[in-house]
Chains A and B, each alone.
Chain A
Amino acid sequence: MRVMSEEILKISNIHVSVGETEIIKGLSLTINKGEVHAIMGRNGSGKSTLANVLMGHPAYQITSGEITYYNQPLEELEVYERARAGMFLSFQYPSVLPGVKVGTFLKKSIEAVRGEPVKQKDFRNQLKAAMALLDMDRSFLSRYVNDGFSGGEKKRLEILQLVLLQPSLAILDEADSGLDIDALKIVSKGINQVVPQAGCIVITHYQRLLEHVKADCVHVMIDGKIVKSGGPDLAHKLEDQGYDWLEVDA
């Protein structure tokens, strides 16, 4: 039981549109340090939109409502400023960066987020530990970012960045999709390592990730709203019964 709860993120009744289309239709959520919130829902329910809005994707407009991060309005921050302020998004479909080596990219990214150069030796040590945790081979480092990567390799690289960047708020957009059980366990290890110091939003279709990452709350999204929140049991119920029983309420 937590005595003190430190609020990291507060979403207050936001509505979000892409062009003329409203995708999120009134959503509120508060995340405290050390909490894992799972967001479940069908394709098209607005889960990924929520992830992108939080990170500041320019295609999405918040038409009403507010998001604060450490009690500061989030909308004032550019995407890179959010990253530098400790926000991290693990992408469902991370971009390919031809010619940019993973090793170079990771070091520069750490430096960009921290705003200062990182000693090569310190970087190497951190990298070694993180890659060992995630059971990644060194050969990753000389490959180009996500270029020719399998789905599982892409997810692992996202989680490697998560572990190296040590964010205060981690948003994981389907970090588990397409992973076999071994890879799922590895990805979970990475997530669990950052959880104690961070607030965490885990977007997923499946209950199985939550067998390895303990969620404090499970939220169900349907048509741009959270229609139900509960404990880990809710995820089990969804796995067994699907979403239909909730749509009646929606």
Chain B
Amino acid sequence: MSDEARDIVGDYRYGFHDEENSTIRFDNGLSEQVVRDISAIKNEPEWMTDIRVKAYHHFVEREMPKWGNPEVLKNIDFEAITYFLRSTNATKDDWKDVPEDIQNTFDKVGLREAEGRWLGGITAQYDSEAVYHSIREDLESQGVIFLDMDSGLREHPELVKKYFGKVVPHSDNKFAALNTAVWSGGSFLYIPKGVHVEMPVQAYFRINAENMGQFERTLILADEGSSVHYIEGCTAPSYASTALHSAVVELIAMDGAKIRYSTIQNWSNNVLNLVTKRAHAMKNSTVEWIDSNIGSGLTMKYPAILLKGEGSHAEVVSVAYAGKDQHQDTGAKVHHLAANTTSNIISKSISKDGGRSTYRGMLQVMPKAHNCRSKIVCDALMLDPDSRSDTYPTMEIGNSSADLEHEASVSKVSGDQLFYLMSRGFNEQEAMGLIVNGFFEPFTRELPSDYAVEMNKLLNIKMEGSIG
């Protein structure tokens, strides 16, 4: 590897890329025609084209968010991004039919091994579209629908039409509008009434091409009394130029359903990760966002849950790691709209080598939502004095029956802790790795064990190198 390449790649293990071998690649830049072309290439129904075009115009007119990192947002050159790139002509259900270099890529990121061992189904997206998809037969026979979003729209237009954009309207923010205009890929998952999907299903999002914009759109519907655990992972090659990842994820947990959505976000540092994730939780349902942000140059993401039904429960466990040239602006939003609803938010962030982490949270209790309970814990760990951590919690409490707890802490690794660990044979880097793994343990313990191991390895790699 050349020094220059090492500068870009650093401690990032997934920074390799395949030779681009696209069957269709749009010219860089965005216009109404680009939006219409994406829709046409996918043979979409007219109503979807209309949604896209409307969203495009909203995007053009909508101002940039004023929070997060306005400086970086201001400098995004939307004309320098590729909005659609097709690598294979169809989504395959046999790896043998997927081009070899793409197979190898998904091997290297560990997806194919995971598929065979503990997943109920997977979707592998490569740039704009899914190249591979599988689901266990027993799930299919129970009526579980798990497809990439393009296939979801083709095969279940009535469901998609009913729910698309209902949780995250295109007018929510500039990037939700952008996603709605140019979306491609993502997952469509429907769990029928009473069905419990025991094994997690996973989507893996891989950006390969330079200057790529990836705009997956995910919709998960868990019908009454059902449950599912959906996991997403993401990586990208390291390039000097910017890539844009702007997803919209919509979840609906019907009465008594449970959705757990876990994210292991490990984009390369040239990726801007600007994502809108939101869930509706109906009566007695549970929605859990288990969200990690380890990679990307800038992430702005605040998974939200609207507790719409009585007795529903929200859980957000999020961790962020902000290293050199990284800003993780993350958090959680929970809106208690109904009585007897409960929420827990745990947010943990680590800043190192001048990295910046921000917790931005919103807790809202509506006047008529009586007897709500919420607990928020925000912990930040600073590994050096050059790094930065900020917390912006907002609370709007509309009635006095709410039971709220909020704890926040900013800590440093103590010299005593390091000395203790080093006296047990760990060098400084290994000691830091243990402390960091421990700090994130409330998150990793929520992951299936293999993912937890992977997550800890990832963090240990992050601890390498820069300690001197």
Are these two chains actual partners, yes or no? yes
Residues of A within 8 A of B (CB): 55-59, 78-80, 82-84, 88-89, 91, 93-101, 105, 108-109, 112-113, 144, 161, 165
B interface residues with partner A (beta carbon < 8 Å):
414-417, 419-428, 430-431, 434-435, 437-442
Choose one: B415, B435, B440; the contact of A97 (CB below 8 Å). B435
A78-B427, A95-B414, A112-B430 known; A83+B422 contact, CB < 8 A: yes
Which of A78, A94, A144, A165 is the one whose CB lies under 8 Å from B438? A144
A100-B441, A108-B434 known; A95 vs B416 contact (CB < 8 Å): yes
Contact B440 A57 (CB under 8 A): no
Residue of A nearest to B426 (CB): A112
With beta carbons under 8 angstroms apart, the residue of A57, A100, A105, A161 that contacts B419 is A57
Are A83 and B419 in contact (CB-based, < 8 A)? Answer: no
Contacts A99-B437, A105-B424 supplied; 8 other A-B pairs, CB < 8 Å: A80-B428, A97-B438, A98-B438, A98-B441, A99-B438, A108-B434, A161-B424, A165-B425
Could you pull out 8 A-B pairs where Cβ atoms are within 8 angstroms? Answer: A55-B419, A78-B427, A80-B427, A89-B423, A96-B417, A97-B435, A109-B425, A112-B425
Return the 8 tightest CB-CB contacts between A and B, nearest first.
A99-B438, A99-B441, A112-B425, A113-B425, A100-B438, A79-B422, A95-B420, A83-B425
Beta-carbon contact of B424 and A113 below 8 Å:
yes
**B423/A79 in contact, CB under 8 A:** yes
Q: In the complex, A144 Cα to B417 Cα: how many Å?
A: 14
Q: Which residue of B lies closest to A109 (CB)?
A: B424
SS class of chain B's interface: helix, strand, loop or mixed? helix
Q: In the assembly, what is the distance between CA of A109 and CA of B416, in Å?
A: 17
**Once the chains bind, are A55 and B434 in contact (CB under 8 Å)?**
no
**What chain A residues lie within 8 Å of B420 (beta carbons)?**
91, 94-95, 97
Are B437 and A100 touching (Cβ within 8 A)? yes
Residues of chain A contacted by B431 (CB below 8 angstroms): 80
Residues of chain A within 8 A (CB-CB) of B425 are: 80, 83-84, 109, 112-113, 165
Q: Which residue of A lies closest to B433 (CB)?
A: A108
Other-chain residue from A56, A58, A96, A105 in contact with B434 (beta carbon distance below 8 A): A105
Residue of chain A at shortest CB distance from B431: A80
Contacting pair A83 B438 (CB below 8 A): no
Inter-chain contacts of A113 with B (CB < 8 A) = 424-425
Complex partner residue of A100 from B414, B428, B434, CB under 8 angstroms: B434
Partner of A99, one of B422, B423, B439: B439
* Chain A nearest CB, measured from B435 CB (Å): 7
In the complex, chain B residues whose CB is within 8 Å of the CB of A59:
415
A84 CA to B441 CA in the complex, in Å? 27
A84–B426 alpha-carbon span in the complex (Å): 9
Q: Which residue of B lies closest to A88 (CB)?
A: B423
Contacts of A108 in B (CB 8 A): 426, 430, 434
Task: Name the A residues within 8 Å of B437 (CB-CB).
Answer: 99-100
| Cα A58 to Cα B422 with chains together (Å) | 11
In the bound assembly, the distance between CA atoms of A112 and B430 in angstroms comes to: 9
Q: Beyond A58-B419, A79-B419, A91-B420, is A99–B440 a contact (Cβ under 8 Å)? A: yes
Q: Which residues of B contact A105 (CB under 8 A)?
A: 424, 434
Give CA–CA (A101, B415) in the complex, Å. 20
The listed residue with most A CB atoms (<10 A of its CB), out of B421, B430, B431, is B421
A91 to B423, CA, bound (A): 10
- A55 proximity list for chain B (CB < 8 A): 419, 423
Given contacts A57-B419, A91-B420, A95-B417, contact A80 B438 (CB under 8 A): no
Q: How far is the CB of B382 from chain A (nearest CB, A)?
A: 15
Residues in A with CB closer than 8 Å to B424 are 83, 105, 109, 112-113, 161, 165
A161 to B415, CA, bound (A): 21
Please name the residue on chain A nearest to B444 by beta carbon: A99
Determine the chain B residues whose CB is within 8 A of the CB of A165 once the complex forms: 424-425
Instruction: Let me know if A78 and B426 touch, CB within 8 A.
Output: no
The reply to whether B415 and A80 contact each other, CB–CB distance below 8 Å, is no
Interface hub of B419, B425, B426 (most chain A Cβ within 10 A): B425
User: Does the CB pair A100–B435 fall under 8 Å?
Assistant: yes
B442: chain A residues at CB < 8 Å are 99
A98-B439 contact in complex given A80-B426, A83-B424, C-beta closer than 8 Å: yes
Bound-complex Cα distance A96 to B434 (A): 12
When chains A and B are docked, how far (Å) is the Cα of A86 from the Cα of B266? Answer: 39
In the bound complex, residues from chain A placing their C-beta under 8 Å from that of B439 are 98-99
Chain A residues, Cβ within 8 Å of B426: 80, 108-109, 112
Q: Which residues of A contact B415 (CB under 8 A)?
A: 58-59
- Bound CA span A194–B385, Å: 42
Q: How far apart are the CA atoms of A223 and B416 in the complex, in Å?
A: 25
* Inter-chain contacts of B416 with A (CB < 8 A): 93, 95
Q: How many Å lie between the Cα of A47 and that of B428 in the bound state?
A: 26
Contacts of A100 in B (CB 8 A): 434-435, 437-438, 441
Query: How far does the alpha carbon of A94 sit from the alpha carbon of B417 in the complex, in Å?
Result: 8
Q: Which residue of B lies closest to A97 (CB)?
A: B438
Nearest residue (CB) in B for A94 is B420
CB distance from B222 to the nearest CB of A (A): 31
Q: What are the residues of chain B within 8 A of A95 when measuring CB–CB?
A: 414, 416-417, 419-421
Q: Which of A58, A82, A99 has the most CB of B within 10 A?
A: A99
> How far apart are B459's CB and chain A's nearest CB, in angstroms?
12
Cα–Cα, bound, A96→B427 (Å):
18
CA of A165 to CA of B423 in the docked complex: distance in angstroms?
11
* Distance of A81 from chain B, by nearest CB (Å): 9
The CB with the most chain B CB atoms within 10 A, among A56, A89, A112, is that of: A112
Q: Give Cα A93–Cα B426 distance, bound, in whole angstroms.
A: 19
A100 to B420, CA, bound (A): 13
Residue in chain B with minimal CB distance to A91: B420
Contacts of A80 in B (CB 8 A): 422-423, 425-428, 430-431
Report the nearest A residue to B411, measured CB to CB. Answer: A98
Closest approach, in angstroms, between the C-beta of A67 and any C-beta of chain B?
16
What's the Cα separation between A161 and B426 when bound, in Å?
14
Residues of A within 8 Å of B421, CB to CB, are: 95, 97
Cβ contact within 8 Å between A97 and B434: yes
Residue of B nearest to A87 (CB): B423
Of the candidates B422, B427, B437, B442, the one having the most CB atoms from chain A within 10 angstroms of its own CB is B422
A172 to B437, alpha carbons, bound, how many Å? 29
**Complex CA–CA separation, A247 to B202 (angstroms):** 73
Of the residues B423, B434, B435, contact of A83 by C-beta under 8 Å: B423
Nearest-neighbour CB distance to chain A for B314, whole angstroms, equals 23
Q: How far is the CA of A59 from the CA of B419 in the complex (A)?
A: 10
